[in-house]
């Protein structure tokens, strides 16, 4: 024999279900986001370089490479600093090179 439940107050029941769904969505959203914290006090110094014909991200990184730095790390830093999704650059683009102190 099945036990049947009866909803006495539909408004209260639907508000409970809605609030539980909202809380679950907020928790899932918080876990999935990977936001970086940016401080308005911290200022990164950079140098702007205009891309010319024949330039690659590798050659630009090599020309501005600090001592004892891996070229791959420098390219990664340039791409992150400029919000680049790929390594393709075109003549006329302006790329910001982060400068280490």
Question: Would you state the pLDDT for residue 30?
Answer: 83
Residue 46 zone, left/alpha/beta (φ > 0; ψ -120 to 50; rest): beta
Question: Would you state the pLDDT for residue 41?
Answer: 62
CATH number for the domain that contains residue 80: 3.10.350.10
Residue 90 lies in a domain: yes
Residue 22 lies in a domain: no
Task: Write the DSSP symbol of residue 100.
Answer: P
Residue 12 lies in a domain: no
Residue 69 lies in a domain: yes
**Looking at the predicted structure, is the pLDDT value of residue 95 above 90?**
yes
Residue 95, strand partner residues: 49
- Average pLDDT of the chain to the nearest whole number: 87
pTM: 0.56
Task: Domain count for the chain, please give it.
Answer: 1
pLDDT (mean) for 64-73: 89
């Amino acid at each position: 024999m099945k036990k049947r439940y009866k909803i006495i107050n539909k408004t209260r029941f639907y508000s409970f279900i809605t609030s539980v769904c909202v809380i679950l969505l907020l928790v899932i959203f918080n876990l999935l986001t990977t936001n970086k914290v940016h401080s308005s006090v911290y200022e990164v110094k950079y140098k702007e370089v205009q891309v010319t014909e024949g330039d690659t991200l590798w050659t630009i990184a090599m020309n501005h490479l600090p001592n004892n730095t891996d070229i791959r790390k420098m390219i990664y830093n340039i791409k992150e600093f400029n919000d680049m999704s790929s390594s393709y650059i075109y003549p006329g683009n302006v790329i910001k090179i982060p400068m280490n102190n």
